Structure formats: C-alpha cells, structure tokens
Amino acid sequence: MKKLAILGATGSIGASTLSVCRANPDLYQITLLAASSSVNKMFLLCQEFTPLYVSMSDKKSRLRLTVLLKQVNSPCQLLDNEEQLLQLLASNEVDSVMAAIVGGAGLKTTLAAVEAGKEIFLANKEALVMSGALFIEAVLKSGAKLWPVDSEHNAIYQALSSTLQNSIGACDLQGQGVAKILLTGSGGPFLEKKLADFKAITPAQAVKHPNWSMGQKISIDSATMMNKGLEYIEARWLFNARVDQLQVVIHPQSVIHSMVQYKDGSVIAQMGNPDMRVPIAHVMGGGSRIDSGVAPFDFFSGVNLNFAKPDFNRYPCLKLAIDACYQGQHATTTLNAVNEVAVEAFLNNQIKFTQISQLVERVLNSRETQQINSIEHLLQIDSESKAAARQLIKRDLLC
C-alpha cells in the first residue's frame, strides 16, 4: 500500500479524493489529513480514516480538534506547526501527496513534497501559476512524479503519447507531432447573460456553476473565466507549450474535458461526466483504470456538444491571464495574488463582479517587470501585490 498525504482534505477535492479511497481501500494508507479550520469535518474524517497524522493550519481549530480527538481516545497525532508538516511531507512516511489546498497557501507544502521527490497529484493550480519555472525546475531536479488532477490537464495528459506523459515539465510537443492543446471551458454561469447586467451579479449567482460542484474560490474563478486563464498558465508549464500551441475553446456542456490536436489532423479528446473523481481515480491508479464511483456517460441522453471562441469582452480575466503568461513570472505571480484578494472581496460584498478584472488589471499595470529567481522573491511580490490590491479596495479607487 502506498502512503498518502491529503492536503486540503476537508475541501471539495479532498472529499472526492477520500471517496476514491473508499472505493479502493487496498490502494493507499492515509498518513496525513491536512486542512485549515473545518474542525467538525476533520473530526469525522479522523474517525473514519484514522490517519497517522492530522494538521490544522488555524491555531484555534487545532486546539479544538485536540480536545475532540482526546475525548474519543483517537490514535491520530496532531501536528503542532507548519515546520512539522513540511518535515513529514519530505519524510519516508509519505509516498504520494494530493495537493488540494486552495490558493497560494498551498505553495510551501506542495513545493516541499516536490523537492523531496514525492509523487504529486496536483490540484492546487495556483501553486504552479505563482512559481512557474521554479516549480518545474524543482520537479525536474528531484525527479518527483507530477500528475495533473485538474480535469483539463488530466484530459490532455491522457491524450498524449507516453513519451510526453513521461516528460511533464519538459515536453517536446512539436517533436511528438502535437499541433495544439485545446483547453476547453464551459464559460461558467454567465455565458448567455447580457453584459449590461454583469455589474449586478451577486456572489450567490456567481458560485452556482452549471456543470461542476466545487469550492467557492474556483467557482468564482470559473464565472470570470480567470480559472481558464490560470489553467492556461498551468498548461504552459506542465506541457512546456508555446503561445501558438495553446488555445481556449468554449464548450458549455463540459463533456469533453480538453483535447490534443495532432499535425496529421487527428484530435484526441477525453470525455465523461463532469466529476472530479474521474481524474482523481486516474492519477491515484497511476494511469491504470480503477473504480471512481462515477456513472458512465450516457450518449443517448440528448446532450449536444457545442464549441465557440471565447469573447474577451465577457471574460476580461481570461485575456489578462493569457497576456500575463507571456509577460513573465512577475506578472503571473501578481495576477494570481490580486485575483485571490479580489475574489475574497467580491464574496464579502466589498467589490462588484466587474471590479475583479479591474483590480487585477490596475495592480498589474502598476508593477514593474522583475526577474524572479527565488521563492522568497516570489512570495515578496505576492504579498506586495496583495497589499496594493487591498489599498485600492480600501480607498474605493475602482470605478
């Protein structure tokens, strides 16, 4: 049995991962469950899965969980701090890591597992977007096996030759006959909404994705299509793709999860019901097919498959992300940082839906081009960009 650590265990990806574990009880022993502050959920998970170790990044939550675990004489050991968590991830008590913390908060832990050469199931796209070349360099240096969990990247991975699958981070797409990676996206809940009504969009409307059930941040990112922009940057790094090798295609039904177009005209698509347990089962099975618990796709249900070009007037965040991808690391780090602040502010009713892209653009335009060659420098840009964004919100300087 392989020893699995699940980072972000109480979230949406965490729940799907644990569901695949339930369906395949002989594959993994759960060494660690880590999360932020959902104590009650974590307590239930500890009782069901009895991980050797548990980590809660929020101090109050850690103390509450300590009491609860004591009351039931649980053998689960609570880690005291982040240092212990990073050490555990690098130790031989862990073989595989599901990286599913949301946002830049997942960078340190994911990188620690990468640097220790572990098998990484990468859901936390923000970590890769934030650190790009540094992340990929660490993967290539340590020999860590990086599996894409994001449904689009997992679909692309499945549609690639084994030569390319074995060179994640350093793919020679052209040499293997790949003409284009076609990254599909549903367009989210506002694909048909009048642009004039965008200002009045509420958080409750924006979190309701038509096809996927996900955490709050990625649901808002899907509504603005910043998610597709982050995925574009993610694809650029995972598959070493050039600008002319990446294209976003709107596909409202989310049946095709992405495609690879080859130079002979063949297009290979991966399809199925939109459920994250499918790509999770794919990576957890090491590419072999295991049970995911997902119903087979019904071709006779009357669903039609449509495709369209994205409209950047509707999705300015997508354009900002694609441009940032080619401006360099400082731009993608800033884009990701400001987007995190903007999404939180929108969810707290501090800014309007349309101000998410304005905020990202304003801060991006205000920052100088910088060469980034260390994680410390990158984290500094992340916090400066966040501070600049918070200032703009506080001083009400958006239109």
- Residues forming the site for Mg ion (CB under 5 A): 150-152
CB 17 within 8 A of CB 108: no
CA distances from 72 to 44, 66, 67, 68 (A): 11, 10, 9, 7
Shortest distance in whole angstroms from residue 44 CB to Mg ion = 27
Shortest distance in whole angstroms from residue 23 CB to ligand NAD = 18
Shortest distance in whole angstroms from residue 313 CB to Mg ion = 23
Shortest distance in whole angstroms from residue 273 CB to ligand NAD = 13
Q: Say whether residue 222 binds ligand NAD (CB under 6 A).
A: no
Q: How far apart are CA 63 and CA 166, in angstroms?
A: 43
Shortest distance in whole angstroms from residue 93 CB to ligand NAD = 18
Interface characters, 89-128, with ligand NAD (x: CB under 6 A): -----------xxx--x-----------------xxxx--
Q: How far apart are CA 130 and CA 133, in angstroms?
A: 9
CA distances from 159 to 58, 230, 260, 287, 365 (A): 40, 21, 6, 12, 37
Of 398, 286, 295, nearest to 342 (Cα)?
A: 398
Q: Say whether residue 292 binds ligand NAD (CB under 6 A).
A: no
Q: Say whether residue 223 binds ligand NAD (CB under 6 A).
A: no
CB 257 within 8 A of CB 294: no
Cβ proximity to Mg ion, 230 vs 392, nearer residue:
230
- Which residue of 4, 5, 9, 281 would you call a contact of ligand NAD, by CB under 6 A? 9
Q: Say whether residue 38 binds ligand NAD (CB under 6 A).
A: yes
Shortest distance in whole angstroms from residue 234 CB to Mg ion = 9
Shortest distance in whole angstroms from residue 361 CB to Mg ion = 23
Point out which span in 73-81, 213-221, 233-241, 297-305 binds ligand NAD (CB under 6 A): 213-221
Interface characters, 251-290, with ligand NAD (x: CB under 6 A): -------------------------x--------------
Cβ proximity to Mg ion, 49 vs 212, nearer residue:
212
Out of Mg ion, ligand NAD, none, which partner does residue 11 contact, by CB within 5 to 8 A per kind? ligand NAD
Q: How far apart are CA 42 and CA 189, in angstroms?
A: 31
- Which residue of 57, 96, 110, 332 would you call a contact of ligand NAD, by CB under 6 A? 57
Cβ proximity to Mg ion, 119 vs 150, nearer residue:
150
SS3 165: helix
Cβ proximity to Mg ion, 96 vs 151, nearer residue:
151
Output the CA torsion sign for 132, 221, 110, 5: negative
Q: How far apart are CA 62 and CA 95, in angstroms?
A: 25
Q: How far apart are CA 204 and CA 88, in angstroms?
A: 38
Q: Can you point out the beta strands (E) in 58-173?
A: 77-78, 96-99, 119-122, 145-148
Q: How far apart are CA 251 and CA 232, in angstroms?
A: 15
Residues whose CB is less than 8 angstroms from the CB of residue 87 and which lie 6 or more positions away in sequence, other chains included:
none
Angle between helices 39-49 and 59-71 (to 10 degrees): 40
- Which residue of 3, 4, 5, 8 would you call a contact of ligand NAD, by CB under 6 A? 8
Shortest distance in whole angstroms from residue 151 CB to Mg ion = 5
Q: Note the residues at the interface with ligand NAD (CB under 6 A).
A: 8-14, 34-36, 38, 57, 100-102, 105, 123-126, 150, 212, 214-216, 218, 276
